[in-house]
Every structure is written in C-alpha cells, then in structure tokens.
Amino acid sequence: MTFRQERTPWDPSAPVYETEAPKTQVREIPVQETQVVETQAEETQVLPASAPETPERSARDLATPDPQARWSPGKATAALFVLATVACVAALAVTYVFFVRTTTGQFIDESALVEAVELSGTAGKAATKLLDWLPALSVVIASVVVVFVTILRRRWSAAVIAIAACVGANLATQILKDWLPVRPYRGVETLELNSLPSGHTTMAASAAAAVFLMVSPRWRPLAGYLGGSFAVATGVSTLINQWHRPADVIAAFLVVGAFMIPAGWLIIRRGPGWNVWNGYNEHWASARVWVALPVLTGLAAAGVAAVALLSIGPGGQEVSTTSYFWAGTSLIVIAGYLATVAGVWLFGLAARQPDPRRRDRPLHQER
C-alpha cells in the first residue's frame, strides 16, 4: 500500500499573507558607554594589507637601500677635494709665472713692496712685533688646541695627519724658496733673490688650518674666520715690513691649501663618527655670520683695489704714492678670505648629511 502526497498547484491570484517577524529587544546604552564605544571606534586604525614577502621584493629592497644608511662623511665629495687640491697647485704655478716671470707682474709686485715704506711708522712697529712673536705664537696656539682636542676627544689619527700636513707645508715652502730660479730681469729694478712663498705666512696659515681640521664641524666656521684673519694679518705684516711681496703671501696660502685639503679629507674619512653636523645656525660657532664676515671683508678689499688701480693715471703715473701698496694689500685680503670661505664651504658640505631633517638615523654631533 503506497501513499502519495498531493501538491496543490500555485494560484497567482491567491492573497499573500505576511508573517510577523519576531520582535527584537533593544537595550538602551547609557551615555557614558556610548562615549566609550565611540572613542574606541575613533582610536581604531585600519592598516593596509602589506604585500607578501617574496624573494623578488627582498632583492629589490637590498638593491635600493636608504640613502642615509649608506651615507658616509666625505665619501661623496672626494672629487671636490681632489679638484680643490689641483686648483691650489695650478694657482701656485700661475702666481709664480705671472708675478715672477713677467714684466707686468714684477712691476705690480715690486711697486707694492716699495710703497710700503710710507707705512713704516707706527704700523711698521706693530707689524714687526707681530712678526717677531709669530713663530712662537703660531706653535703655541696650534699645540694647545691640538693637544687639548686630541686628549679630550681621543682624535689620535686626526692629530697625526694634521701635524704631518702642517710640517709638510712648511718644508715645501723652504724647498720652493731654494729650488725656484731667481727672479729674471724684466726691466724692473728688483732683488734677484727669490722670496716666494712667504715662510712666516705659511707658518701662520698652516697652524690655523691644523686647528680648523681638529675641531668638530660645528666649530669650523668660527675657527675658519679667526684662523683666516690671523693668516691675513700675518701676510699684510710681512708686506708692511717689506719682508715679502704680495705674491709671496698668496703663494704661501696656496701651499698650505695644497697640503691641508687632502689631509682634511683623510681626517673626515677616518673620523666619520664626529665629522657630522646639522648645518649652519644650530650653534653660535656655526652661525652664518662667520661666513658673511670674510665675504664682506673680501668685497670691501676688492673695492679698495679697484679705487687704487683706477687712481693710477695713463702711463703708470699715480695720483697717490701708495696705490700699488693698497692694491697689493687688498689682493692678500681677497686671497686669504676667499680660501677661508671656500674651506668652510667644502668641509661643511662633506660633513653634512643629505637630509638632516630625517631622524631615522641618529645624527651624532660632538661639541
């Protein structure tokens, strides 16, 4: 016996009855709980899903590391240091050829030396005292700073490099004096004895450069200005006392630069932990005023040189008897402060990180 269930066919015209949905109980949340829920919702951050780690992605990350992570002081500026050293050597050769081997150069150089007699009074006495004390003063200043920084900061390799470069510059000056030919006769009455480069200026400039290399980058703008002023004052004093011509002083600056620039690069490379800084104006010794002062002084000296040379009439007749002296003095000031500004800029560029605003790599800056 089988049973079969009859299924009623669907009638489209039949009414449809809606069933009542079960009632949902709604719980009233107090105001305090609502605030907590809203606060938790605001604090919730939805992080985007990171891409899965794949061998290709890992290789790409290793191939393009963080620029700051691979940055090292002086590494990117090595070519600039080489170029600056070559420029010093080339400028030294040009200075010798023009002021010693040509008639025009000899006349300008010798005229500035002869006209220095006009200032041999009070200024000459002061310059003589400075030059008498210069060797001992330079050695004392450089020794105190180098020894202090070396012991306090333990910069032993930097001290050895700076002292070696200082000694090398002074030895090179004495060798050039002996080996360079005497001044040829070009129709200008002058001493045939070669006096290029100036030994006193070399000693003062090399001592100032040694101090500049030993201090931390935040102190170098101030050290550069003070050291450059000391070297310029020494060079002008040798001219006032008629010990050296302007070309001798300029040649001394170039000899010091040829030795101290590569030595400074070695110091930066061997001391990357302390040869870093955050840039100008983060310390009073690294204020831009120490760069602006030599620039303004050099511009003023250029103006004095222009007025002095324009005062020379046709045929070399001078309205003033000291025109060539002031032109020669201005040339010393311009050369000395130009070297100062260039050195501060070059070493500052080598010690500054690519982007100092980033703090993912801590920047250690010594006092």
Alpha-carbon gap, residue 88 to 97, rounded angstroms: 14
Residue 326 lies in a domain: yes
Structure tokens at 282: 């983060």
Structure tokens at 99: 């002021």
Task: Region of 316 please: left (phi>0), alpha (psi -120 to 50) or beta.
Answer: left
Helix axes 289-310, 323-351, angle to 10 degrees: 150
Residue 67 lies in a domain: no
pLDDT value of residue 13: 59
Residue 332 lies in a domain: yes
- Helix ranges, the chain (H): 31-43, 55-63, 78-101, 103-115, 122-153, 156-179, 199-214, 220-240, 246-270, 289-310, 323-351
Cβ distance 280 to 288 under 8 Å? yes
pLDDT value of residue 46: 47
Residue 143 lies in a domain: yes
Residue 214 lies in a domain: yes
pLDDT by 10-residue block (mean), the chain, 367 residues: 54 54 52 46 48 52 51 83 97 95 92 82 67 77 82 85 94 93 84 88 94 93 94 91 92 97 94 85 92 96 91 61 89 96 94 61 50
| CA quadruple 183, 186, 188, 192: dihedral, nearest 10 | 20
Q: CB atoms < 10 A from the CB of 136, how many?
A: 9
pLDDT value of residue 64: 47
Residue 6 lies in a domain: no
Alpha-carbon gap, residue 343 to 209, rounded angstroms: 9
- Three-state SS for 352? strand
Alpha-carbon gap, residue 108 to 324, rounded angstroms: 7
pLDDT value of residue 7: 55
Cβ distance 256 to 205 under 8 Å? yes
pLDDT value of residue 305: 92
Residue 90 lies in a domain: yes
- The tally of domains found in the chain comes to 1
Residue span of the structural domain in which 152 resides: 78-351
Helix axes 246-270, 78-101, angle to 10 degrees: 170
Burial class (CB in 10 A: 0-12, 13-18, 19+), 115: buried
The DSSP symbol for 182 reads: P
Residue 123 lies in a domain: yes
Q: How far is CA 134 from CA 226, 245, 279, in A?
A: 15, 18, 33
